[in-house]
Amino acid sequence: MSLQKVSIAGMGCVCACGNTSEEAFEGTLNAKTRFELPNTRVDSVYTSKYPVFLVDPALYQHKPADQTFSQFFFIRAALQAFEQAKISPRQLNPKRVGVIVGASVHPSFHCFKIYRRWKTDKLTEADYTGLKNYLASPLAQWVSNYFGFQGPFQTIATACASGTDAIGLAKNWIETGLCDAVLCGGTDEITESPYVGFIRLLVSTPQRCRPFCKTRSGINIGEGAAALLLTNVQSAQQLKLSCQGYVLGYGNCCDGFHPTAPDPKGTGLRKALSFALQDAGKNAEDMAFINAHGTASQANDSAEAIAFNSVLPHVPVWGSKGVTGHTLGAAGAIEAVLTLQALNKRILPATIGFTTPDEQLQLIPTRQATAISKRVAMSDSLAFGGCNAAIVLGACDAA
């Protein structure tokens, strides 16, 4: 079976540093972002100490009551992707259009209040309805129904690697001929579960995160979504779609080292990076840069540095979470959009928050915005459960 080439017709993004992909990339260049206490968004005793990266409230003040923040963010990002591709969902309906959405928070349901009411025998009819609706309509199915698509759909829940895995699987669906186009990406929102969970795991910091910095003290979670419309080349030509870039390679490997900690030797990540390079037919010398997972936790940054130095030595490393925060299941998708923006604009931003090299890492990320000429880059994600994923992305002129 000959494999179809996978192009990106459009992309969209909603996160703390911008309400569109263009705004978000500008935010990475000028360090403009919303980093603040979660206030009314989270009910926790920790909200006076641990700030987060929040989407601009002006964006969601008109959010429909029957949509979660995750759903709302993703729809906004998807509509941007369609607009950039200059096509409507209705025009795509005759094609075999799949939907793959990665998420970490949303698939776990927001059950704390319901659980508390259940413990006191105070469940309401709305609680039963909400639970039934959640069980009956997984996220990707809901998105597919929203746009009226008839193709396959899948929700990816590989924790913080979900967004990257969603793009990689979408690539596979198109390459093998299962779909003509796939709407893919990731979405997640600030809720009590991850907010309190990361604090209890002792990896959150009340300060702003500092990826790969010697003085790094932990992560700040964030929220948002990114969506990409992937197509095969024939459909792109037939529908006269624009080209924002290409998904060239995908690699995935689970090391199973620990439920929440990465393998300190970076074993699984090294394999995921190598698989992605092999799938793309590229090598380290082809890479303009790596958009790292770069959460600014001690263990994660150390494992990544070991893997990068082994598989991608001397390739510039950019950590974008200094302006987006760790958006969990959306992280890989948001970082894919930012990676494509950097490639197409031929400029690699600085790693915001980094100040002091850590000699133990033997890795210094980007310290200032730099012009780039190579047309291919890597983006990777690490996740709970030992999940590791990586994608190789090409600029719009990489063909």
The Cα–Cα gap between 167 and 12 comes to 14
14 exposed, middle or buried (CB, 10 Å; 0-12, 13-18, 19+)? Answer: buried
Structure tokens, 186: 């990731």
Query: Is 293 among the catalytic positions?
Result: yes
Identify the DSSP state of 2.
P
- Among candidate residues 13, 15, 17, 160, the one labeled active-site is 160
* Cα–Cα distance list, 240 to 21, 86, 286 (Å): 22, 9, 29
Alpha-helical runs (H) found in the chain: 21-30, 57-60, 69-85, 89-92, 112-119, 125-136, 139-147, 162-175, 192-200, 233-238, 267-280, 298-311, 321-324, 331-345
> What is the spatial distance between Cα 377 and Cα 399, in angstroms, rounded to a whole number?
14
DSSP one-letter code for 222: B
**Structure tokens belonging to residue 388:** 């590791």
- From the DSSP assignment, how many helices (H) and strands (E) are in the chain? 14, 14
- Distance (Å, whole) CA 375 – CA 285: 11
The dihedral sign for the CA sequence 126, 131, 137, 143: positive
396 has catalytic annotation: no
CA separation for the pair 283, 150 (Å, rounded): 38
Catalytic site residue 314?
no
Strands 245-254 and 52-53 come out as unpaired
Length of the chain counted residue by residue: 399
Of 106, 179, 184, 326, catalytic:
326
CA distance 374 to 372: 6
Catalytic residue among 13, 17, 184, 293: 293
Torsion-angle region of 369 (φ positive above 0: left; ψ -120 to 50: alpha; else: beta): beta
**Active-site residues: which are they?**
160, 293, 326
